Amino acid sequence: MQTQPLRRIWEHFEEGFIAFLLAAMTLVTFVYVMANNIYTLFFNLADRWAWSSRFFNSLGDATMTVAQDMTWSVALTKAMFGWLIFFGISYGVRTAGHLGVDALVKLTPRPVQRYLAMLACTCCLAYAGLFMVASYKWLGAVLSAGIGAGIGAEDLDQYGIKVGYIVLIVPVGFALVLIRYLEIFYRIFTRRQAGLGLADEAGEASKLASEHKEQH
């Protein structure tokens, strides 16, 4: 019972971090696009209204300088998108966001379904563990390359950001996936859960079709 508060804190952090990455990506992209398009408006206004050309030209120059200095925004957005993907994998496992096709499994008796679910979960654990180990070795090679903490990230090395800092999320993400599937395996083993808990797209489609027929 003592782990429940920590679990809730982690789950809230997980959701908040994903929301932060989405918001940051959107904000950085919006500012970069606006800065690359709005300075032409200021220059056009300066040409149109000669009495205020100095003011609008200064705004155009300042905005264009911001746009030119934001070459890092694309690289930062890519890095955050990568973090969103690998951090979101475990979140998808927790919320049953990944698709599962188990039409044939559901035709088998209940005890057989349990053993098949444990087998599938074992395969997922092996997959996550294999990639966690491989990505950890890859991260070690990246961090040991170059000088200091590794190779500088493209357009972000001016701020001290290394490639190793970005790819750190890969082994961490697979470690989180491993933990999630260990939790699922334990629930299946203790008969608290029947399957992997994946989203059933076919079942949802059939349910929506049935509801649509009832309404008409």
Q: What global pTM score does this model have? A: 0.75
Q: Is residue 194 a contact partner of residue 185, using CB atoms and an 8 Å limit?
A: no
The sign of the torsion formed by the CA atoms of 141, 146, 148, 154 equals: negative
Find residue 99's DSSP bridge partners: 199
Domain boundary assignment for the chain: 1-70, 71-202
Which long-range contacts (C-beta less than 8 Å, at least 24 apart) are formed by 73-80? Answer: 73/28, 73/29, 73/31, 73/32, 74/32, 74/155, 75/153, 75/154, 75/155, 75/156, 76/28, 76/156, 77/25, 77/28, 77/29, 79/153, 79/156, 79/161, 79/166, 80/21, 80/24, 80/25, 80/28
Calpha distance 156→77 (Å, rounded) = 11
The per-residue pLDDT string of the chain (216 residues; one tens digit each, 9 = 90 and over) reads 456 778 788 888 889 999 999 999 999 999 888 888 787 877 777 777 776 777 777 877 788 887 777 888 888 898 899 999 999 888 888 887 666 656 666 777 777 888 888 888 899 899 999 999 999 998 888 877 755 555 666 777 777 788 888 888 999 999 999 998 998 888 888 888 776 666 554 455 455 445 555 555
